[in-house]
Chains A and B, each alone.
Chain A
């Protein structure tokens, strides 16, 4: 099936540092999304991107929909301990009148206080 390549797989950073992660695909997507999964919980939507080149912020999080529509980036500024978790990118393509999400492998973030 389709694959999204998400990197890095894991990060261990100091509190206060900025974080960058990205997702690439060989296919074009109509929508890019970023989800966060806290330990012991299901993923929660952070940011949704709908147009190529779009840059969207949600607090300390900023995500971009790549111009080629084959990639997306997520940045977290001034990380704090509660940023710990697994971050997933997801792309959506429309087929007929339905859309299916394809998820990346996830980036596990650990923050050292």
Chain B
């Protein structure tokens, strides 16, 4: 079974802190994604990556950056955390399918981040 592991289940940070959320997958997937989940808004894509050292902005990249130095690891960085970044963060990975399809996402269990 594919396993996507997020380093922390719960995280509490202060406004202005630099925050690192780590994600590791063990199935050699090319694609990795970071989503945030908020009640009533569903899942919104922050950043994604189709290859090592490659990154693309999703729908809500402001206030975030990412790093993919190794194929199995995709990090989400909050340069200066703010209270409106309090959310559930979900990492996902998928194989690169035909025509760039990547619908079969495998998700981690999520990191609930609270910024005080």
A residues with CB within 8 A of B: 1, 4, 6, 9, 31, 33, 35, 40-45, 48, 88, 90, 92, 94, 96-101, 103-106
Contact = CB atoms under 8 A, between A and B. Distances in A.
Contact of B42 (A31, A40, A94, A103): A103
B49 to A, nearest CB: 11
A104 B45 contact: no
A103 B101 CA distance: 15
Contacts, number: 68
A58 to B, nearest CB: 14
A36 to B, nearest CB: 11
Contacts of A96: 100
Given A42-B90, A103-B42, A31 B59 contact: no
B interface, size bucket: 20 to 34
B96 to A, nearest CB: 9
A41 B102 contact: no
B67 to A, nearest CB: 20
A42 B42 CA distance: 12
Contacts of A1: 44, 59
Contact of A44 (B35, B41, B107): B107
Contacts of B11: none
Given A40-B109, A42-B110, A105 B59 contact: no
Contacts of A35: 105
Interface string B81-109: 00000000010100001011111110111
Given A42-B4, A43-B43, A100-B45, A94 B90 contact: no
